[in-house]
Structure 1
Amino acid sequence: MSILTSPLTALPLAPLLVLPFLSSWSTSLNLLFFSLTWTTIAATYSPLQLEAFGPFVVRVLLYLLPSALFLLFDLGVPSLAAQVKSQGEHALPVRAAGGKKKVWRIVGWSVFNVALGLALQAGLEWLVTDVLHFRSLLKIKGSKWSLNHLPNPWSMVQHAVLGLVARNVLQYYIHLYLLHSADGGILSTWHETWQHSVRIPFSFVAAYDHPVCYLLHRFLPLYLPAIAFRFHILTYIFLVAAFSLEELFIYSGYSVLPSTIMLRGMARRTEAHFMSGAEGNFGPLGVLDWVHGTTLGKDVMDDLKAEMDKHDVQERAGKAIDDAGDAANGVAAKMKRRARKRRG
């Protein structure tokens, strides 16, 4: 079966994966349904088809299409869009990019770069499995004793955390030492004249860069750890989905963002990186910027404190401790009463 036919033949299976999450069934039934569906997909399609089709769907649905909707909103109703942009009308794409023609150039190269990363991944998988006849670069099945091709949940969590940490570490050092190198090498020149030609980012700018810089900064920091530790394909797709949404929101320029921990701080640091001319904030998460002293404005610790204050973490923790102490005292009192009754 050709890889080119996989998206068409796999489309009827897409609703089967989505349906459990939209239904009112119990968690057990949802997990059973998903397990059976994934078993069918994994048994039907080759590793090459799964590695090509899965990330393709995620990148289109969670990054390219929403980015296009955000852009249409910014261009269609600029007066309204300016009210929800953190930098107001200065962050509107036409003004931030320097003209509508430049905006369409950014969109075109962003789509090209995303397609390039997906094609490179599919090409490497084809070389390894179909030409060299080695095992797939990403794990498709679960353990050898598993009949449903699902990964071990604990290993999936471990790999997801490992992928998150590795990706952010690699991105930070690649961004700082290669794309903003002190000696102004060719990579630094490309990055400055491409991505940093935009004064304030909008969602498509996350993937707008010289193709070599894009692969180094966006594609490889996630893909290299995935193949080095041979993540399960479901873990990899989950990470691709998470980072697609991250890029969508933190580059959007909007001040109104989903209320998830750290997301607004990441967006603020990304904007500061562009507006300062890349003086700092080389990692959106901000941890390594805090460690190395390259933070501009509020650092990641300020964001954590703000999130804790917002959700009254300390107050709730204190209340939980007090409740636990009261419960313990109550148990101790009951034990004393029972002991006195026995002695009496």
Structure 2
Amino acid sequence: MNAMNDQASAVRAGEELPIDKVDAFVKQHVTGLQGTPEIEQFAGGASNLTYLLRYPDRDLILRRPPFGHRAKSAHDMLREAKIMQALKPVYPYVPAVIASCDDASVMDCDFYVMERIHGIIPRHNMPKGMVLSEQETRRLCLNVIDKMIELHQIDYQAAGLAGIAKGEGYVQRQMDGWSERYRKAKTEDVGDFEQVIAWLQAKMPAKDVATCLIHNDFRFDNVVLNPDNSSEVIGVLDWEMATLGDPLMDLGNTLAYWVQADDDAVFQSVRRQPTHLPGMLKREEVIAYYGEKTGYRVDNFDFYAIFGLFRLAVIVQQIYYRFFHGQTTNPAFANFGKMSNYLEQRCLRLIAASRL
């Protein structure tokens, strides 16, 4: 099977790279490259930008921050590259980083170059022509969850990653940080989420269940599948938000994107991964499977599930804030305010049904 859907296309206007400077930098670190690369861009994302450098005999990937104003602490490309380099020996699904650059004379920002993992990236749907049986889909689903579990079990101290975050107290820091971000991003046409925030503060666990390495954006569209065995995960991408934290928070964030076949029409309309297919585990089954495999107690998971939806709402609202104030004109963001309101109501329904 050779179905692929990690295809790049023409670079978007205003997001071009200085080809000559990038080419010279890459050739300092990769011997034997010939010619000048064709540069294309991968679609999607309101965060870091990803480019394909297509040389005659080799494809490479370049990651850089978005153009325009950004917080100094956001989109730290050098941090992302260092985490990937430390992880690669113990978590082989990480793409190999070839070189990172903090020289402003090459580009106006830090960036890094990595290997390209050729394979299948499951997005809204599986690639055209790829039909999985229910059994194959279930095997794929379990393999993806297993890769998250494997990540959570890495000895981050032995990997040299003990210093990338503060460690204990992660849940409290996340609650404080995301609550503040929502309040700053609120626009006049969306809800205030104060009832949701108050519930989360009241039901927040007294301490983290553990401290481990977490991805913070673990989704199907951030994994790469073997094109010859579509249930095998050969890559895990997008390490921008990786940190040390509570593993159940990581799972809750993942499940915020987990739209299943029996969800309502609004949630279905924003599905971005094929978790609706027959054979995919439902959210409750994912939670139970994760708990069985890790030994963590998951019987009080409502807090983590609702926090994940709240966090997603903040991300949506931050993007919508830029659209609302004319800082971006991307029409794809026009309905993000409505989605923010939907997510608030979804949180409130789950709160009403919770036994916590």
TM normalised by structure 1 equals 0.28
Higher helix share: 1
Larger Cα-atom Rg:
1
Give the structure with the larger strand fraction: 2
